[in-house]
Structures are given as C-alpha cells and as structure tokens.
Structure 1
Amino acid sequence: MADWVKNGHLTAGGKSLEYACWGPAPSQAPTLVLLHEGLGSVAQWKDVPERLADMTGFGVVAYSRAGYGASDPVDLPRPLSYQTDEATGTLGEVLDALGIDHAVLMGHSDGATIAAIYAGSVSDMRVRGLILIAPHFFTEPAGLAAIAEAGRSYASGDLKDRLGKYHSNVDVAFNGWHDVWTDPAYKAWNVADVIDHWRIPVLAIQGTDDPYGSLAQIEEIDSRIYAPLETLIVEGCGHAPHHEKPEQTCNAIVEFCARLHRLEVEAVSLA
C-alpha cells in the first residue's frame, strides 16, 4: 500500500476486510498488528490502538476478520479449522496489503491463537515478536461451559443487542464462533504444537479470573517454548486485561515493544 491510509477496506483471503491505522507508517516505524477475539472487531479495541501508538511510537493496525465488523460475511458453518485457516490463508495477505515489513503480532483470545499459529506455521521474517492476550491452544471444560452460557445469553438475553452495535451481520459473527466451540468434535481441538516452532520473543498475558481459559494455557507455553518468554499474570482480571486492567497491561506491552526495538537497533549497529 503506497500510503498509510488511516481506515478503509483491503482485500485478503478473497474477502473485503475493514481496517484502521494509528501512528506512523510502516516505512517509518515497526507496526503492531492487532488481531481481535472471537466476537471482536476493529471498533471493539476501543482506545487501545491509539493508546499503544502514542506510548510505543509504533504504528498500529487493527482489522476485522471476515464475518465480523464491517468486513464481508462468511458462509456458515465455519470449519473447525477456522483459526488455522485464518492464520495460514489470510493474515499474511493482510500484512502484504498494508505494506508491513516489520511487525509485532498482538492477538486477543482467538486472535492470539491465530497469531500463535502464524508464528509457528509460516516462515515470515517480517514478524519479530508475539503478544498473546488470553490465548488458547486447547479446550478446557470451564471455557466450553462459558461459551455455552454465552449462547444462552445470545438467545434470550441482551448479548445480541450489545454485539449488534459492532457487527453488520451479528448472527454470522456470533454463530460462526459459538457453533464451532460447542461442536462435540471440537473438544479434541489442540494446536499447542505450534509453540514448539516459535523463534521470536513472546509476551503472554492472562487474567486469573478468565472464564474462557485458565493459567494452563500459559503453562503450556512455558513448558514447550524455545524462544524468549515474558509473562504477565493479571490478578483479579477476566478475559480482557487490555480493557479491564489497561494501565498494567499496556505498560507491559510498551516495555516489551521497547525491548524488542532496542534489540533490533543493537543488532543492526553490530552488523
């Protein structure tokens, strides 16, 4: 992309995807690429992208995956491999479309898993680090129960109305996520082997009171990783530390990005 257009649509994975950018262009600074949760979108990051652009000096870009926000819809049901499909079939094209050549992938929940799969499955020297917020690599009974409860809230509570503010086709957004996770075959889903292949620094962030995933997800990273790992365990926090504990979470992200950038600069000077 010749110009760092602040918002619009790009084409990746055969779909038109909405995106928004903050801060300097890829030619001027590294770029934080934000990947949203299973019911998220560009707008649902709220003030986090602008805050991180200001605090890090990096460019920041967020996009809504197909089926979310103002991006193109998808056909349902989604395949059980939808997270791997997004990582291996679309994410690289997003980086291409935006002209990003020095990226840190920052994902939340499903987005963290997609970032993790990309880093462990695709050889892409543009990606220099991973920030994983509430990642999941395998299912847990409590998390599956929380998703089933979300389904009941969507059917008879106010969740549909709340999500409808952010998604052009809210039924596609919700059912595309919920119906995969509640499929009996999905209990066996496990992508933890991607951790074995990471060769870039990682910051993993997890709330202690997250109903969708436990510290077992972070312990899985720690037990398998061969790359540098930093962790932030946020006490008294649920599924979205960047919203629930923004100061603590954003400070950790900023410090991680600063260390990454300093290592890059030192490596260049030594070369």
Structure 2
Amino acid sequence: MQNPALAAAAATTASGFAELPATASHGPLRIEYRWLNETASDAPLAVFLHEGLGSIAMWRDWPQALCERLGMRGLVYSRPGYGLSTPREHGVKWPVDFMTAQARDILPALLDALEIDMRERQRMWVIGHSDGGSIALLYAALYPDALAGAVVIAPHVFVEDISVESIAQTKQLYETTDLRSKLSRYHADVDSAFYGWNDIWLNPAFRQWTISAELASIRQPLVAIQGHDDNYGTMAQIDTIAARVPHAKLVKLDACGHSPHRDAPDKLNDAIAAFVSAQR
C-alpha cells in the first residue's frame, strides 16, 4: 500500500534554479532542479543523475513513479550544459575527467545550495543512468559516508569500442536527420548539450578513461543494472563493477537496451524496489 504522506505529496513538485559559486573546476553555474514529493519531509531522498544527453524533461515521469514505489522524495536536476542549466560555452571542450568533477564538485555544491544536511545525505540514494551512473559510482566512491546506497543503470566504467561506434553514429544522425529538432525539446541550447557529450566521447584521449580503480572505495549498498541489448556498452561494464565491489548486486535484463527506464520500466522498478527494500 502506498504511503499516505507520499500519496498526498505525489502531485506536489517544486521547480527552481540553484546558483552555484565558481570553483577551481568551474565558473558560476545556474542549475535547474525539481523536487518530487517535496512535502514528504520524513521520507529518504533519491537523487537522479541523467544520461549524457538527458535533462529533467527527458526523464519524463519515471523518477516520480519510482519515488512513489520506493516511498521516497526525489531530486531531479539538469547537469551543466543540459536542460535549462547553464549551457556549455561553444568551443569549450569537456575535460577527460568531467564525470569526476560532476561527482566531486557539482553534486555536493548543489546539495549545499539546497541545504541538504549531512544527516539527510546519510539516508540519500543516488540513482544514475549511463554517464549519470558513472557519476553516481564516483560519488559513492568519493563520499562513502554521505549516502545510503546507489543504483546505477547502464553505467560506464571504461570506454568500449561499441560505445564509441554508437556515439559516432549518433553524431551522424544528429547532423543529417531530425534528431537535433527532437533533442531541442529538452535543452535550451541543444548544440551545447549534444557536442559537449559527443566531442568528449569521440576524443581519442578519452579512450584511456576508466574509473575501475575508484570503485574499490565503495562501501554502501550498490546495485548495477544493464540490458543485454545495450548498444552503448556490454555486460563487461557491470561485471567490472562486481569484480571491484564484491558486495554489489548485478541485474541483467533481457530484451532491454541502453535505457531500461524506457525499455523495461516494470522489470527495472521491480529490481530497484527489491534491492532497496532489502537494505532497510
């Protein structure tokens, strides 16, 4: 049965912008965010980290549905360069370690700006998809005492040929089909969003990127989920997680591609709910 407090809060969302001060890794940033079930103040918090071309809008209603299933509040935000957040300046390239900077600097600064205290963070779950899954892994490794657990969906731990080939094909589609106009629904500056993601993944220097060593620092509960038909990565990604984090649970979904929340939402939600419930 659904938590009555969450049922009352489900229709309540609060959107806004958080102003983050400049640091050594970035200039001043304006971050688009949205609360889900905001008035359920006693519920644990789930923070959603979107994919490389994602945003608040591109998640659609999946975070809300999952929060209601888990009995949690939710925080969804668009990373810099995406959605309505500060766009990437044209001509500026993301550095090879851009995901580390997102986990180490941007997410903690956003939590600070939203006045999410340490006690609340210790009950917090991070839920990331694709690049967002990698950022969730890095956050869990960097701040093991500042979360309750992590859910990573189709994360990248190292760069595979299949990833680079698919991303190169996506660039061709962006420049020759209506993909650009479709993505423009989700980003204020669609070229900033697309080329920020595409250029770094196709940068030859990025082929050496890996976070496999960092994974050994993860202490909190972790579930990694991957579809067998993912054209952006193979099962080697989450198998590497299991080798580095022995307590991690793996879920491998049949008839599912790179976006399980769209391809197999019921199976995905069942897997996440079962894992989170087992930790309580």
Query: What is the TM-score when the length of structure 2 is the normalising length?
Result: 0.87
| 1:163-219: CA deviation from partner (whole Å, max 9, x where unpaired) | 000000000000000000001111111111111100000011000011111000011
Matched ranges for 1:54-69 at <5 A: 54-69=68-83
Partner amino acid, structure 2, of 1:117: L
Please list every run of 5 or more consecutive structure 2 residues that lacks an aligned counterpart in the other structure.
1-11, 22-27
Aligned length: 256
* Runs of 4+ more than 3 Å apart: 24-27
Tell whether the 8 Å contact from 1:132 to 1:205 is kept in structure 2 after alignment.
yes
Q: 1:122: which partner in 2?
A: 143
1:246 maps onto 2:265 in alignment: yes
1:108 equivalent in structure 2: 129
- Greater shift, 40-49 or 19-28, is seen at 19-28
- 1:249 Cα shift? 0.3
Give the 5 Å matches for 1:249-264: 249-260=268-279, 262=280
Q: Is the 8 A contact 2:46 2:125 kept in 1?
A: yes
Alignment check: 8 A CA contact 2:13 2:37 kept: no
Residues in 1 aligned to 2:31 and 2:18: alpha-carbon distance in whole angstroms: 5
Deviations 1:125-181 (A, max 9, x none): 231101000000100011100000000001111211110000000000000000000
1:50 aligns with 2:71: no
CA–CA distance in structure 1, aligned partners of residues 39 and 214 of structure 2: 30
**Pairwise CA distance, 1:26:** 7.3
Decide which of 145, 152, 155 is 2:165's aligned counterpart.
145
CA positional deviation for 1:121: 2.1
The CA distance in 2 between the partners of 1:198 and 1:166, in whole Å, is 33
Structure 2 letter corresponding to 1:134:
A
Unaligned runs of 5+ residues in structure 1 are 263-271
Q: Is the 8 A contact 2:13 2:36 kept in 1?
A: no
CA distance in 1 between partners of 2:148 and 2:257 (Å):
28
Q: Which letter does structure 2 place at the counterpart of 1:229?
A: A
Correspondence for 2:237: 217
* Identity rate, percent: 38
Q: Displacement, 1:5?
A: 6.8
Q: Is the CA contact (8 Å cut-off) linking 1:205 and 1:232 kept in structure 2?
A: yes
Q: Any idea what SS the aligned residue of 2:127 has?
A: strand
Q: Distance in 1 between matches of 2:51 and 2:13?
A: 24
